Amino acid sequence: DDLGGVEDEDGVQFSGPLLAGQGVPVQIVASTNGLLNAWIDWNRNGTWTTAGQPDPLEQIFTNAPLTPGTNFLAVNVPGSALAGPAYARFRFSTAADLGSVGLDPDGEVDDYRVCITALADLRLVQNATPGTVATHHASSRCSRPLTTL
């Protein structure tokens, strides 16, 4: 991260939605050879640890080798992932076995707000206006309002 306060989280791009129980391609741009360690807060408890210990279920990449340029990887979203906004952390370094926090000799840390979506979460809501039905999509927990059909 840039300590000067400049937004520089631009090296990670998900190629689709994070759907519980599905995989999603991710593109990661690296400036040099190195290793990637990354986490997503699948249970949305605000941390990548459980009882103070690293949570292996939330670590999505462990020492994944990256080369200069765009690298193509995949993230498997657990079926137990809770729908709604969550955070992801990506640490790129020449050092191996980095945790989600702590110092490393070189590299970069990028944090992202992501949206986890249930594979199927469609609820019907009775509407006061006859002939219309309001639907609620799970992804709306991140940004979308109710939609009237």
pLDDT (tens digit per residue) in 20-37: 999 999 999 999 999 999
Task: Write the DSSP assignment of the chain as a string of letters.
Answer: --TTS-----SEEESS-EETT-EEEEEEEESSSEEEEEEE-TT-SSSSEETTEE-TTTEEEEEEEE-SEEEEEEEEPPTTPPSEEEEEEEEEESSSS--SSS--SS-EEEEEEEEEE-SS-EEEE--SSTT--EEEEGGGGTT---EE-
* The overall pTM is greater than 0.85: no
Q: Which pLDDT score is estimated for 80?
A: 94
Q: What is the mean pLDDT of residues 105-121?
A: 89
Q: Which pLDDT score is estimated for 123?
A: 60
